[in-house]
């Protein structure tokens, strides 16, 4: 069933960055491999073993310098630059690949590897070095007070009001490369569908919430997403 759309919300997860060489979380070679989530991605873990947590993020931040946006990131950036209607790309990813591809109408709901949060002055600043050594806060100069500006389990994702408003008013919700294992992101499809949006999932395997989607396309984001963007830009349809 082909429909016309005006207002699109897109949610991405680790699968959109997989073909760039960024490890996903729950796959066989997953990022959590060798780490229990609770041991590295929670405020409690940071209090218990700050060095382990800082090193986990320092490694991933350093890895970002060796990878490039892939065809899916580039297609989404092209959609952002060309689509005359409303568009919001909400990413769960903390990598900077959507940013580097050129997406503007972009929101990192789980924070960003390349930002630091100072627990002394509360400032959040761009940061792309190592944090384990206790470098000075770019804003206040205090040393040893930085944590990754990342939303850990048990912490509130960023800009939820703005996201919920977008989900209520969109007429197309597209989920790309996410397992649907983490809330509140995994519940976005239900909110969008409840408010009348058409819902499409593009993923390597069916996500935990596949049954909520009107349509699921299985395959690699690097192939599916450019084709989908072409379809939308040529016909405004999906
Ligand atoms: C919140 C940053 C409430 C860190 C992440 C008990 C206590 C507290 C909360 C909870 C609790 N029990 C449950 C919860 C809620 C919890 C939750 O959902 N837990 C889960 C595990 C059950 N959620 C939270 O805690 C959230 N906060 O609820 O706050 C609150 C209320 C009031 C006041 C204060 C607080 C916060 C969640 C955010 C956690 N941080 N990331 C970091 O990156 O290190 S989440 C983490 O998982 C990732 O960031 C990622 O975003 C997210 C989801 O993973 P995916 O992106 O989907 O990746 P995954 O590997 O799972 O899947 C990849 C998919 O891609 C697969 O399906 C695969 O098939 C596909 N794929 C692979 N290759 C390709 C592909 N697809 C296409 N092409 C390919 N080539």
Residues within a 6 A CB radius of ligand 1? 13-15, 18-19, 24-27, 41, 92, 94, 110, 150-157, 177-179, 181-183, 203-205, 207, 220-221
CB atoms within 10 A of CB 215: 12
Report pTM. Answer: 0.96
* C-alpha 3 to ligand 1 mean position (Å): 31
Pocket test for ligand 1, best of 13, 98, 175, 220 (most atoms within 8 A of CB): 13
Say if residues 201 and 213 touch (Cβ distance below 8 Å). Answer: yes
Token pair recorded at residue 126? 């761009």
What pLDDT is recorded for position 24? Answer: 87
Q: Which residues pair with 198 in a beta bridge?
A: 172
CA 124, CA 42: separation in Å to the nearest integer?
19
Q: What is the pLDDT of residue 214?
A: 97
Q: How far is the CA of 120 from the centre of ligand 1 (A)?
A: 28
Residues of the chain with confidence (pLDDT) below 50: none
Residue of the CA atom closest to atom 62 of ligand 1: 179
**Sheet containing strand 111-118, strands side by side:** 124-126, 111-118, 146-150
- Distances 102 to 15, 19, 97, 99, 162 between C-alpha atoms, Å: 19, 18, 9, 5, 21
Which residue's CA is the nearest one to ligand 1's atom 32? 156
Closest CA to 170 of 7, 4, 3: 7
Instruction: Return the ligand 1 atom nearest residue 26 CA.
Output: 60
Ligand 1 center–CA 12 separation, angstroms: 11
Gap from CA of 14 to ligand 1 centroid (Å): 9
Taking the C-alpha atoms of residue 202 and residue 112, their distance in angstroms, rounded to an integer, is: 23
Per-residue pLDDT, 37: 76
What CA–CA distance (Å, rounded) separates 222 from 218? 12
pLDDT of residue 103: 98
pLDDT in the model for residue 84 = 93
Which sequence positions are flagged as catalytic? 110
């Amino acid at each position: 069933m082909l429909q016309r759309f005006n207002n699109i919300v897109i949610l991405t997860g680790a699968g959109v960055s997989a073909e760039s060489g960024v490890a996903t979380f729950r796959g066989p070679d997953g990022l959590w491999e060798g780490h229990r989530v609770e041991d590295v991605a929670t405020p409690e873990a940071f209090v218990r073993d700050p060095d382990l947590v800082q090193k986990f993020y320092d490694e991933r931040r350093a890895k970002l310098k060796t990878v490039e946006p892939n065809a899916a990131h580039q297609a989404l950036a092209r959609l952002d630059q060309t689509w005359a209607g409303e568009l919001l790309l909400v990413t769960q990813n903390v990598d900077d690949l959507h940013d580097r591809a050129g997406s503007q109408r972009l929101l990192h709901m789980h924070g960003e590897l390349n930002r630091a949060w100072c627990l002394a002055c509360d400032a959040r600043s761009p940061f792309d070095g190592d944090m384990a050594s206790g470098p000075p806060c770019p804003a206040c100069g205090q040393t040893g007070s930085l944590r990754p500006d990342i939303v850990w389990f048990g912490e509130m994702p960023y800009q939820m009001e703005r996201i919920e408003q977008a989900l209520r008013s969109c007429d197309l919700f597209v989920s790309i490369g996410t397992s649907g294992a983490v809330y509140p992101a995994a519940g976005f499809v239900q909110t969008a569908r409840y408010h009348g949006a058409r819902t499409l999932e593009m993923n390597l395997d069916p996500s935990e919430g596949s049954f909520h989607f009107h349509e699921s396309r299985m395959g690699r984001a690097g192939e599916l997403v450019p084709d989908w963007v072409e379809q939308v830009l040529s016909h405004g349809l999906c």
